[in-house]
Amino acid sequence: MSYQILQYIKFLLKSTNQHGVHSPFVYNLVTQCFYNKTKYTDYKTILNYRKALLKNNNILNVTDFGAGSHTFKTSERKISEMAKYAGSTLKRAKLLYKICKYFKPDNILEIGTSLGISTHAMSLGNSKSKITSLEGCPNISQFTSNLLNNNNVNIDTGNFSETLKTQDNKPLDLVFFDGNHQKEATISYFESLIETAHNDSVFIFDDIYWSKGMTEAWEIIKQHPKVTVTIDTFFWGFVFFRKEQVKQHFTIRL
């Protein structure tokens, strides 16, 4: 049995919905955002963006600075296959949209642009936000930048450990960690950005059960003294820094 399947079984056994939540902040987030069933008109735009990528058979030569891919074995990759196997699913893109609509973050940092499915969804969720997205591969960066063509999105290209150093130390309202699924790198990025977090910031970690190392990183992040509320949704881990809340962890089914 694979690591992810075993962890998912454990997740299902201990996870709950809004009825197991006694924190008003988390209860409202779950009921008004996570479980929000509104069919927003922007969902069609999100769907069409992803559909166009799934139909694009052009090939990109990819430089991978992260943990590598469970799917791709060569550096030459079809855009359609990248969208299918490495890009955000429609469900996750919609959730990111709802999160940005709910929290209305002004300053967003995304670590790992890829084909911009998540970037696009976040920009629609709050059109007034300023999004800085970091991408390691120059070819992907150029392709996605041309595709998005969005004044609110700035893509910085280079190794994340270097591009993170060039970011000004302004407070960040939302950080989406989706670029390097390695334990040490994830912890390093978190620690380098912890000073940008304020009371209402949210940090979102992608694929916290991608590997044993990623789960270990998630457990370390949960224990950080500045972290108060954490939510495990299996595919994402949410981190909050609300000083008015007692330290508490939630495991929520989406």
Q: What is the pLDDT of residue 73?
A: 55
Tokens of 172: 């960040």
CA angle centred on 238, ends 17 and 174, rounded to 5°: 130
Integer Cα distance of 175 and 66 in angstroms: 18
Q: How far apart are CA 98 and CA 36, in angstroms?
A: 8
- Judged by DSSP in three states, 40 sits in coil
206 bridge partner residues: 236
Which sequence spans correspond to the domains of the chain?
Answer: 3-251
pLDDT of residue 216: 98
φ/ψ of 30, rounded to 5, equals -65, -45
For the chain, the farthest-separated pair of C-alpha atoms sits apart, in whole angstroms, at 50
The reported pLDDT for the residue numbered 65 is: 66
Label the pairing between strands 229-232 and 236-240.
Answer: antiparallel
With b for 16 or more beta-carbon neighbours within 10 A and e for fewer, the 1-14 pattern comes to: eeebeebeeebeee
Kind and range of the H or E run holding 79: helix 79-85
Tell me which CATH code domain 3-251 carries: 3.40.50.150
Beta bridge partners of 202: 174, 240
pLDDT tens digits in sequence order for the chain, 254 residues long = 799 999 999 999 999 999 989 999 999 999 999 999 999 999 999 999 999 999 999 999 998 765 544 455 578 999 999 999 988 999 999 999 999 999 999 999 999 999 999 999 999 999 999 999 999 999 999 999 999 988 899 999 999 989 998 887 899 999 999 988 899 999 999 999 999 999 999 999 999 999 999 999 999 999 999 999 999 999 999 999 999 999 999 999 99
Regarding pTM above 0.75, the answer is yes
What angle, 0 to 180 degrees and rounded to 10, lies between the N-to-C axes of helices 42-54 and 117-125? 170
The whole-angstrom separation of Cα 246 and Cα 106 is 26
Cα-Cα-Cα-Cα dihedral sign, residues 137, 80, 101, 223:
negative
Pull the structure tokens for residue 26. 């988390």
